[in-house]
Structure 1
Amino acid sequence: MQIAILTFDGFNELDSFVALSLLNRVHGWRATICAPNATVTSMGGVTVTAGARLNELPDMDAIVVGSGVRTRQIAADTALMARLRLDAARQLIGAQCSGALLLAALGLLGDGPVCTDVTTRPWIEAGGASVIDAPFHASANVATAGGCMAAYYLAAWMIAHGAGEAQARSVIDYVAPVGEKEATVERVMGVVSPFLA
């Protein structure tokens, strides 16, 4: 499983790094930061080297679209958006918070409910989508999550799709807080399981 964590300058570290870490805990999977340039700098000033570039997106099995402080500008950049070739018929695609703006610009949100953060919500609704007060929702191969810590819902959903629910439970159990492991696993899987059938 090859997974791109689609990341732009001004990205939110929690969205990108949590998903990156969780997805790479599945044996044989490779999740990597995918960016337009060789390096990308977060909203907190952390600069990382991209492991993949935008031209590699069509070859990926799954894509996580992270959020950041510049997502609205990116969604309005027609030249940049034309480089984002995503295929919801073949790829699992998940967006975190303002990443939903990119899915909207690409026409991938469909008519279903959307999850996003409170800051992004008015912009998504202005585009005609229905935002719900939930941390996660998926329709077929496209999922959205709202709130920085909802990254583990996206990761669990992708892992369960690609490696099974038992593997998703194992990964979440490993990273869950001590003393809260069982409750955390049940909460995360309780949210994503209805979208796995």
Structure 2
Amino acid sequence: MKVAILTFDGFNELDTFIALGLLNRLHHLGWAAAVTSPTAQVTSMNGVTVTAQQPLAFANEADVVLFGSGLHTRAIAADGALLDRLALDPVRQLIGGQCSGTLLMARLGLLADMPACTDSTTKPWVVEAGVRVLEEPFHARGPIATAGGCLASQYLAAWVMASRAGLDAARSALRYAAPVGEKEAYVERLLAVVTPFLPAD
């Protein structure tokens, strides 16, 4: 399972690294999540510079694509030349975004008439793009999901794992990362948020 975590200059570390760390807990099942960027290096909103593990084109072949947020997302959303490099296919891919990443999904036409989650700063821009914004941490319809709030990256990761590897695999990966002494309650609360949005068996 190839996962592209789209990461641009000014990125929010929590969006990128929480998803990256959780999804790569399924490495033993052949999963590989990668920081995917339009340039060789990107610098976060707090000045952390990382080297891209995959170029932007990797998103077009990945099985899962996640849009993180960042300081410059509004400018990225207005950059047609950059977004035109993405040819995503919700028939074949799971696609999710959080906070201002939801704005990029809206600009790419991925949300259609689906309501979406985002953060309070991005909400006016997403509304301006014609999307109804929910006051919820996570929402999905079919292969498309959005989340609101930096720590909502755990919901996107849990949804992806449960959708493609099953609840047992997701539960095991999440339990490993959950706080000691709270593991069972933490994992079950997290999965309770995403389970209603999983495909029916």
Structure 1 CA distance, aligned partners of 2:198 and 2:110?
Answer: 19
8 Å CA contact retained: 2:107, 2:129: no
The amino acid of 2:96's aligned partner reads: G
1:183 CA displacement: 1.3
Alpha-carbon deviations, 1:30-68, whole Å to 9, x = none?
A: 000000011111011111111111122221000110000
Q: Distance in 2 between matches of 1:133 and 1:111?
A: 17
> 1:74 offset after TM fit, Å?
0.1
Aligned equivalents of 1:170 and 1:118: distance in 2?
Answer: 32
Q: CA RMSD in A?
A: 0.8
Equivalent in the alignment of 2:149:
147
Q: Which residue of 2 aligns with 1:36?
A: 38
Counterpart of 1:93 (choices 92, 95, 107) is 95
**Unaligned segments of structure 2, at least 5 residues:** none
User: In the alignment, what sits opposite 1:115?
Assistant: 117
- Residue of structure 2 in register with 1:67 after alignment: 69
The code of the aligned residue for 1:81 comes to: L
Segments of 5+ residues of structure 1 without an aligned counterpart are: none
1:96 is displaced (CA, Å) by: 1.2
* Cα displacement (A) at 1:71: 0.2
Identity of aligned residues (%): 60
Residue 23 (structure 1) aligned with residue 33 (structure 2): no
1:25 Cα deviation from its structure 2 partner:
0.4
Asked if the contact 2:20/2:34 (under 8 Å) is kept, the reply is: yes
Q: Does 1:169 align with 2:171?
A: yes
Q: What amino acid maps onto 1:176 in structure 2?
A: A
Asked if residue 180 in structure 1 is aligned to residue 185 in structure 2, the reply is no
**Runs of 4+ in structure 1 over 6 Å off:** none
Distance 1:51 1:104 in 2: 25
1:2 and 2:6 correspond: no
The CA distance in 1 between the partners of 2:166 and 2:100, in whole Å, is: 28
**Counterparts of 2:105 and 2:141, CA distance in 1:** 13
Deviation at 1:112, TM superposition (A): 1.6
Contact 2:59 2:88 survives alignment (8 Å): yes
SS in 2 for 1:151: helix
- Kindly tell me the number of residue pairs found equivalent between the two proteins: 197
Counterpart Cα distance in 2 of 1:107 and 1:62: 17
Query: In structure 2, what is the Cα distance between the partners aligned to 1:45 and 1:107?
Result: 31
Question: Structure 1: how far apart are the matches of 2:112 and 2:177?
Answer: 33
- Given residue 147 of structure 2, which amino acid in structure 1 is its aligned partner? A
* In 2: Cα distance, 1:100 partner to 1:57 partner: 16
How big is each residue's C-alpha offset from its partner over 1:134-153, in whole Å with a ceiling of 9 and x where there is no partner?
Answer: 10000110100000000010
One-letter code aligned to 1:183: A
- The structure 1 residue matched to 2:134, chosen from 132, 151, 154, is 132
Which stretch of structure 1 is more off in the superposition, 174-183 or 16-25?
174-183
